[in-house]
Each structure stands twice: as structure tokens, then as C-alpha cells.
A and B are shown apart, each in its own frame.
Chain A
Amino acid sequence: MALLETIGVGKRFGGLMANHNISSQFQEGQITSIIGPNGAGKTTFFNVLTGLYKPDAGRILFENRDITGWPIHRIVGLGISRSFQVLNIFNEISPAENIRLAVQSRKKKSFHFLKPASSFTDLNQETDQILERIGLTGVKEQPTKNLSYGDKRVLEIGISLASQPKLLLMDEPTSGLPSSETQRIKDFIVQISDHLTVVVIEHDMDVVLTISDMILVLHQGEVIAQGNPEAIKANDLVQEAYLGGIH
């Protein structure tokens, strides 16, 4: 069953067609990669899916429910979470507090205004589990801004995971990382995809071709191909637009 489906989604900025007539299906439990040259409209597509931009055309269905035009927090509440290409974390607080904010949101504990946030044991336990899972237990009480870039990248994903999403959208999770760290993220994506559906925007073709069940290729705002890695590798249009010099 398709967990997420888009039907003819379009988004225009002035004269620029950032997304045009995108129809696609994202199957439950799969890893789908979205690839395409810079400016192909990949991040815009994420922004439209998650409610940051309202689409000008088309419909978005999540679990067969029409969520087109919903505000971000309601879409997140349904179980869609995302991580960002440019780090988007809370720098002034600790990693543990970053994670706890996400857990607290899902558990609807945010209207307590007289008890200390640190006194909710259920929140703390879950926060610690997530920190353990993403391997940041050792630095959990440090100021986030002092963390290494790699750790911040992991935290970026950890925050998104703490929402316990059914669908996780990751925008270039390996962006700016050395290859040693890229492997860490790659393994991590494969590991978490056991129990959730992942859509990832990625430039590193090595990562894309090894982890993906499905690949969606965008070019100038339009879908020019979708299929499994073998089909995409063999596709002439994709060769021309994107994979050009690779083989």
C-alpha cells in the first residue's frame, strides 16, 4: 500500500515552475531516494509535502487521507517527520533537551507549566533511549553548539526520529560529511528503515544505489523517471540529465 501519494502536485514561484505535475507513490516500509541536479525542485517537493508551502495544484494523500494545504504541525502530528539539509537544530540547549522537545510534543506534555521539564521520567527515559540509539549519550549534556559537525548531523536526524514518524523525509543527510561519516549515516538509514518508511534526497550516487528500493528522478521540477535502481541506471533520459559522466 502506498503510505504517501501525490497526484499532479505543482508549485510555482513567480515564473519558475519549481514543481510541476509530480505524481508519485511511496510504498510502506521502503526506502525511496529522490535524485536530480541542483534546482530540480527536490527540497521544494519536501516543503510542499510537509505543509511549509501550499501546492498550487494537485493533491497529497497520506494513508489515503487528503492532507493538501494542512499546516506543518498537523502533518507532523499524523506521523510525517523531516530532517533538513542545512542544520536545523536548537543550538542553545543540550542534545538531550533537543530530543526531549520532540518527545514532549508527541506525548502532549507541553501544557504543563509548573513542573520542571526534567522531572518527567517517561520523557527522560525515552530521550535517553533515542540518544543511545543515535550514539550521542556521551555528549548529551554538552551545549549543542559545541558538538562536532558529524554529531550535529546525527542529532538532526535524531530529533526527527524522536517524533516516532511513520514516514521520515531526509534532505541530504550526508551533506558536508567526510566519507567515513557518510558510512555511519548510511548504515543508520538502513537500520531505521526496518520499521518506518524513508524518503531521502541524496547526491551521493553510491549511497543512493545501495540503499534504495525505489528512485525518483526530478529534472526542472518534473519527474523524468521512477523505478528501482537497476531501471534507473539503465534509463536513457536519466543518463542524459543526471548520471551523464558516471559510467
Chain B
Amino acid sequence: MTGTRILGHPMFIILAVFLIAPAVVLPLGGMSLATEVMIWAIFAMGFNVLLGYTGLPSFGHGLFFGCGAYLVGLLQKHVIAGTWIPLLGTILGCAVIAGILALFMAKKRGIYHALLTIAFTQMFYFITFQWDSVTGGENGLMGIERFPLTFFGLFQVPIGGTLAYYYFVYLIMVGSLIILWRLAHSPLGSVLYAIKQNELRAKYLGYNTPFYKWLAWLISGSFGGLAGALHAMLTNGAFADPIHWSRSGDVVMMVIVGGGLSNFFGPVLGAFIFIALRDIFSTITQHWYLFYGLLIVFIVLFMPEGILGYLRAGRRGAQAVESKI
């Protein structure tokens, strides 16, 4: 790969933009918003393993975000007051939850699959909302902290400050993007994409497709849990709200708006747009979802492949014209 190709690569652009963003954002006092963009980007990228790669609609993905938030809090409270172990435990825990739920969903398709995801997320919503003694009920689980990172007891890095936490999340996002990028281009990723295109044929190539769909759930749920945990550490609390099915649409819309159905990086753009619009419009009107809804209608009607999909198609069109000339 030549130097210019690396510099022009979307991965490099995203990493560079988020690396230097604090220079602009910090004076404006928007560090936690910028951190939130990256957290939602991780969530949406992980979600896209299901929707974008494998073609499985999940309208209850807030379940993993919410479970991640509660799990990291509970692990901090009851197991160890630290960062690494609660985070790893949360990822593992959400993988287990995804693995169990996906047993019910991996053989379902289309609308039945989607309905099950909604049913499961509502089930978890009511459990977390009602189970006061463990989850704090409607008050949420408070007091989730950003403990300093320790490296084998040798030295510590504090992440309590907003800037330090931003870069902590940044590094996790970089790791997540690289892992998911490699997954998307790996043999496993090619099987998931084959299932999206034509599951029957994938079976006739010898693939046990329910098992691969189950794997996609496992991966997706783990990243969802990771994002939820990072979000809980950002806001110092875990709440039932994100688990409600009506909030699970947020991540679907991020993927669709950004162009995740046809572009690997679509979810990152979608997360940025969602947080930016929420922040801008919600200061003007509490009905900001109305404007966001209009944007979604516009995009679905005129850019069905999302913003990045639209731009890419435009560029392809231009190339075609050039080659004719």
C-alpha cells in the first residue's frame, strides 16, 4: 500500500479526526459529547455485524447496551473496584447473554427474527426496571466510576478526567474498528455476507448457517455490551431507558443514515450525525426527534444506501462518465 492510499483511507481519516478533535472540542466544552460519539460508533459498528454484514434485523439491540451498563456497574460494586476486569467481564457477560438469546433467534428469519428481538429487549427492560435491589429500579444504578487503569500493578493511568477518558475510549474505538475491519474482510466475514445475500445457497455450499448467525449475534452483542459499559462509565450510572424497545431504533437509524448497509464506516458517520443533531435540536425544542425523523424519511427516500453509500455511488457514476470520455 502506498503512502497516499493509507492517508486517503477512511480508517486513517476517522482515526486522525478523532485524534485531533479535542483541540477544537475541548475549548468548547464538548468533550463528553465527543466521547459519546465514539461510544455510539462502537455500538453501531458492532450492531452492523448483524444488520449490515449478515442481514439480520434486530430492533432490540439496546438490550446489550443496557446490560453492558448494568454489568459493569455491578461488577465494580460487587467484584472489583477497577476498570479492566469489569470491562472484560461485561464483554464476556454480554456475549453469554447474546449466545443464549441467539439460540432462539438463529433459525428464525425476517419478521419473526425482528419480533423476537423486540420481545427480548422488553423482557429485559421490565426486569431491570422492577428489580430494585439489584438494578436500582427507576433511579438507575448510580456510582459507576472511572477507576485508574493499572498495568500489572506496575503503574497507573488515571482516566477520571474528561480528556483522559476521551483518549481511553478513543483507543478502544481504534481497537474495535481494526478488529471489525479485519472481520469484515476475513473468511468468516465473507460467510456472513453470503448469508445476507442468499442463505439457501450458503447452506448448499455446506455452511451451517444458523451457527454462523449465532456467531454474528455473539460478536454483535459483545460490542454492544462494551459500548454500554463505556457509556455507564462516562455518565457514572446505568439506566433502564436504553433497553426500552423504542430506544433500540436509535442504533438502527444510525446505521441506515450513515450508510452502514453498504459501507463499513457508515455507522461511525451515523453516530456522529445522531449525537450532533440531538445536541443541536434538543436545545431548541424537546421535540427534536421530529426533525431527526424528517431527516430519516428524506434519506430513506432519496439515499436508500445512506450518506456514504450515496457518496460512493456518486463517485462511481463520475468514474463511469470519465471512462466514457
Residue numbers of A with Cβ under 8 A of B are 50, 52, 71-73, 76-77, 81-82, 84, 88-93, 97, 100-102, 104-106, 109-118, 120, 159-160, 163
CB <8 Å contact, A113 and B205: no
* CB of B191, distance to nearest CB on chain A (Å): 5
Stretch of B131-139, B147-155, B196-204 on the interface side: B196-204
Q: From residue 167 to 200 of chain B, which have CB atoms closer than 8 A to chain A?
A: 179, 182-183, 185-191, 193-194, 197-198, 200
Residues in A with CB closer than 8 Å to B186 are: 112-117
Contact of B198 among A72, A89, A106 (CB under 8 A): A89
CB <8 Å contact, A102 and B205: yes
Cβ contacts A to B, 10 pairs, < 8 Å: A50-B204, A73-B206, A90-B194, A101-B191, A101-B202, A105-B191, A105-B206, A112-B187, A113-B189, A160-B204
CB <8 Å contact, A90 and B197: yes
Give 11 A-B pairs besides A110-B207, A113-B189 with Cβ atoms closer than 8 angstroms: A76-B205, A77-B206, A88-B200, A88-B204, A89-B198, A90-B197, A102-B205, A112-B188, A115-B186, A116-B182, A117-B187
CB <8 Å contact, A110 and B204: no
Contact of B204 among A81, A91, A92, A104 (CB under 8 A): A81
CB <8 Å contact, B201 and A104: no
Contact of A110 among B179, B183, B188, B203 (CB under 8 A): B188
Interface size on B, residues (CB 8 A): 25
Q: Is B282 an interface residue (CB 8 A)?
A: no
Chain B binding surface SS class: helix
Residues in B with CB closer than 8 Å to A81 are: 204
Residues in A with CB closer than 8 Å to B189 are: 113, 117
Residues in B with CB closer than 8 Å to A113 are: 182-183, 186-189
* CB of A34, distance to nearest CB on chain B (Å): 18
Most buried by A among B183, B189, B201, B208: B201
